[in-house]
Structure 1
């Protein structure tokens, strides 16, 4: 049954002829190497790591929005689900967008000492935002940290207006970064990896398997996107890979280990309200 479903996913229709043309020009091996280098600082220098990631994410969203809508982000309303300590606010402000964030954890919201302007406390699985309220709704590396990621994805789709864009980017469990700081031992089991981390470091990992870190696979996201009501799947690609490596997403099995982070781009339509 699962094998049959995977074959179906390889034929998911992508509606835009050039949905990632701008991003594709930037998706070079040099960019991939630069981002990979920043991952070393996630624990030791989070300002450096998350600052670089926020800058790249804002450019990624801007590229996609221009390709799909033909407009810039200037004046657009952007909602960040799981906005964390506010690294993204500055980047989107520089693009002229109105940036807002929903973050469930007040400790995380204030972790970097940045003013949480435009941020509200709330759950991504029940967004405190009205339907069709924003032009862009995105989430970066959050879905693997919530117990019901596809409830969150459905909420993101709900609050995005028709003609807008929803972008969900998440870490794939069987990819090299799936276990976060407990990797690569997560390949032997998430609970086992968490116990090993505790023994080695004398404390629980920040991302605790079964509590704040869950197994989310590439196929899970593609299945959800293929069945999303009232939205077209515009693109699905591995976020940190150079353009020539994007086709790995089309290969069942391989995509689970070769896609470190999957990006799903959906365009809501009026069909949701019929």
Structure 2
């Protein structure tokens, strides 16, 4: 499924993130569900039907429909009550809580994932550790996030200004639009690198099943293996872990 056509389609959708969120997140949710379905089949040999899935930072619930269509037991956790109700979507199992202190016991979920959340919290690796903790032995943890020095690291502040600095991009956006961006650098947007994510993955105690650039076609996945280049060429890094029977 990692084709150039898919990459171009997702890239086009980015322009609708704030103007038409139901379109942007609807397509992203279906793409996410397909990725997780493929990863789960590849890593465990089984489909998603009947699996217990936790979405860390699921927001207003756009992703719930994609997993309901796959007969999953879907739970989302989100710290912001306003964000949970923003789209008026009813999710049967929506829990208010922090990703860095998940309100679940150990080993509950077959698959725990987080999509585009890590760059919005100051300590994403604490969230990653919590995701591993609540996943059952043999289950998968999938952490996907926007890389700071990638082209979309600055989010709505633009493709280039964040290369000068997060504060510069934030202030420039505020001057141009008369209001601060939704994602405020230093408050709700942080500079998360590929290198930091890879260090966390290898020190997590879980088995690293794979890392790849989410929005790239398969023939461009080699970029993840090249230091420095990956920081600028990879827009979104996906880390796939499998929890061991006993964490190292």
> Which range, TM-score by smaller chain?
over 0.9
* Structure-1 residue corresponding to 2:74: 99
Aligned pair 1:213/2:192, yes or no? no
Q: Secondary structure at the match of 1:87?
A: coil
Rounded Cα–Cα distance in structure 2 between residues aligned with 1:251 and 1:71: 32
> CA offset at residue 40 of structure 1?
1.0
| 1:116 CA drift (Å) | 3.2
Residues 1:39 and 2:10 are matched in the alignment: no
**Per-residue deviation, 1:117:** 2.1
Task: In structure 1, list runs of 5 or more residues that go unmatched.
Answer: 1-25
Deviation at 1:96, TM superposition (A): 0.9
Correspondence 1:68-217 to 2 at 5 A: 68-183=43-158, 184-217=160-193
Whether the 8 Å CA contact 1:144–1:216 is kept in 2: the answer is yes
Q: CA RMSD in A?
A: 0.8
Write out per-residue CA displacement over residues 76-106 of structure 1, whole angstroms, 9 at most, x where no aligned residue. 0000000000011110011111000000011
| 2:222 paired residue number | 247
Partner of 1:22: none
Q: Which runs of 4+ in 1 moved over 3 A?
A: none
State the distance in 2 between where 1:188 and 1:51 align.
Answer: 32
Alpha-carbon shift at residue 222 of structure 1 (Å): 0.4
Larger mean Cα displacement after TM superposition, 110-119 or 163-172? 110-119
- The DSSP-based 3-state class of the residue aligned with 2:223 is helix
Partners in 1 of 2:91 and 2:114 — Cα distance? 17
Aligned 8 A contact 1:110 1:116 in 2: no
**Cα deviations by residue, 1:172-220 (Å, 9 ceiling, x for unpaired):** 0000000000122111100111011100000010000000000100000
Q: How far apart are 1:271 and its partner, in Å?
A: 2.1
| Equivalent in the alignment of 1:14 | none
The CA deviation at 1:44 is: 1.0
Provide the aligned length of Structure 1 versus Structure 2: 247
SS state at 1:194 partner:
helix
Contact 1:162 1:268 (8 Å CA) reproduced: yes
Find the counterpart in structure 1 of residue 210 from structure 2.
235
C-alpha distance in 1, partners of 2:193/2:62?
26
